[in-house]
A and B are shown apart, each in its own frame.
Chain A
């Protein structure tokens, strides 16, 4: 069965960076786009960007351009999201979510989600 398992909670100081991992299993990792979504406490869902695990290409929401980097390791079927220059308002639960098949040119919604990783930014 498809599973996305994320790394554990992190506590970081303002100005630091955090790197969250998402390990996929139960399907062919390089066949599906992966997105990152975050949710601040008591707030809504915010899409951060997308990575193509096959070629590694990425696209980031304008809000996060210059601060976020998404990468993948095909040998371990893992995607990573690194956010730098952390501020207190980056405190949130960060999710990875699987979306469309890469080689089928039809958009698709998120069908599987990771369990979420709480990142707390505090001095």
Chain B
């Protein structure tokens, strides 16, 4: 299985901050990477697919980059609604795998 490693596990930030979350794959996955946001008690919601494509309806303050084994999710100016847990996911192989998640907390 392809292993996905996210960092940091927890991130404390303030409204208006620019934050970046990193995801590394154990082998090359080209750009077959997605980012999801999850709030407590809810199913995850897709933000970014194919490493850098913004899902319809997702605010433009979210952006993704990377290819191969290194990827980043950036939120350009944090809004109150953005405090949640974020997961990367590879879908290069038939069996998808997630990173362990990054909890974004209010500082």
- Chain A interface (Cβ within 8 Å of chain B)? 35, 37, 44-47, 49-50, 59-62, 95, 97, 99-100, 107-111, 113-116
Assess the B95–A113 pair: CB atoms within 8 A. Answer: no
A-B contact pairs, 18 of them (CB 8 A): A35-B96, A44-B98, A44-B99, A45-B87, A47-B97, A50-B95, A50-B96, A61-B1, A95-B43, A99-B91, A100-B91, A108-B91, A110-B44, A110-B46, A110-B96, A111-B46, A113-B44, A114-B43
Q: How far is the CB of B24 from chain A (nearest CB, A)?
A: 15
- Chain B interface (Cβ within 8 Å of chain A)? 1, 32, 34, 36, 38, 43-44, 46, 49, 87, 89, 91-92, 94-101
- Nearest opposing residue in chain A for B101, CB measure: A44
Name the one of A46, A49, A61, A116 contacting B43, with C-beta atoms under 8 angstroms. A116
Q: How far is the CB of A108 from chain B (nearest CB, A)?
A: 7
Complex alpha-carbon distance, A97 and B87, angstroms = 15
Complex alpha-carbon distance, A115 and B44, angstroms = 10
Name B's interface SS: loop
Q: Which of A35, A59, A60, A110 has the most CB of B within 10 A?
A: A110
The residues of A that contact B95 with a CB separation of less than 8 Å are 47, 49-50, 59-61
Name A's interface SS: strand
Name the one of A45, A49, A113 contacting B98, with C-beta atoms under 8 angstroms. A45
- Nearest opposing residue in chain B for A33, CB measure: B94
Complex alpha-carbon distance, A114 and B43, angstroms = 7
Complex alpha-carbon distance, A113 and B46, angstroms = 10
Complex alpha-carbon distance, A59 and B94, angstroms = 8
- Nearest opposing residue in chain A for B102, CB measure: A44
Q: How far is the CB of A95 from chain B (nearest CB, A)?
A: 6
Assess the B34–A110 pair: CB atoms within 8 A. Answer: yes
